Amino acid sequence: MHEPELREVPVTAVLAALADDVRLQIVRALAPGGEHACGSFEFGVSKATRSHHLKVLREAGLTRTRVAGTTRYVRLRREELDRLYPGLLDAVLAERGGVA
């Protein structure tokens, strides 16, 4: 499972990952903090599509994934994102009607 260092990811990749509505919904769900089981996201998409969106977020450096048994847990890399791109996540969430 590839999880790049966020500083190695171009800001354009981060923005592209945030440009999709389903991925943005996932980021909104993760924004308050903590880990969530990958299977807990219900956004009206198939399991394969959900897995694809989680992979895009992970490869863009937005999330970290932890495996425990047969369950994968995902969390937002909020502190790292805020340190590298101050205000970006807050602005994206506010623009789309989310809360930061």
pLDDT of the residue at 48: 92
**Radius of gyration, CA atoms only, the chain:** 13
Q: What's the pLDDT tens digit per position in 14-29?
A: 999 999 999 999 999 9
Does 59 map to a domain?
yes
Average pLDDT score, the chain? 89
Give the model's confidence band at 3: pLDDT under 50 very low, under 70 low, under 90 confident, else very high. confident
Domain of residue 49: give its range. Answer: 6-95
Supply the DSSP symbol for 4: -
> Can you give the CATH number for the domain in which 22 is found?
1.10.10.10
Does 100 map to a domain?
no
Does 22 map to a domain?
yes
Supply the DSSP symbol for 35: -
Domain count within the chain = 1
